[in-house]
Amino acid sequence: NAEDIYPRRYFYPSVNTFTQILPYVEMPVSEDISKRILCLPLYYGLAKEDIERIANEVLLFSL
């Protein structure tokens, strides 16, 4: 993306919707959160400067 930050959806889709494993069970909170949660870059060796840059971009986006 423009800021060279590549977030991804986390826990998507909600595990309760994997009907190949178990029958579907309604879990509205899990399903709602799975549609809205975001995982920012997270890995060993992520430089402090990159962490600060990512945090600043999140703050700018949230204003």
Residue 1 lies inside a defined structural domain of this protein: no
Contact 54, 41 (CB under 8 A): yes
Instruction: Report d(CA 16, CA 47) in Å as an integer.
Output: 36
Residue 34 lies inside a defined structural domain of this protein: yes
Using pLDDT thresholds of 50, 70 and 90, give the confidence band for residue 19: very high
Number of domains within the chain: 1
What the block records as the tokens of 34 is 């799975």
**pLDDT of residue 48 exceeding 80:** yes
Residue 34's nearest CA partner among 63, 13, 3 is: 13
Q: Containing domain of residue 40, as a range?
A: 8-62
- What is the residue-averaged pLDDT of the chain? 92
Residue 3 lies inside a defined structural domain of this protein: no
Using pLDDT thresholds of 50, 70 and 90, give the confidence band for residue 11: confident
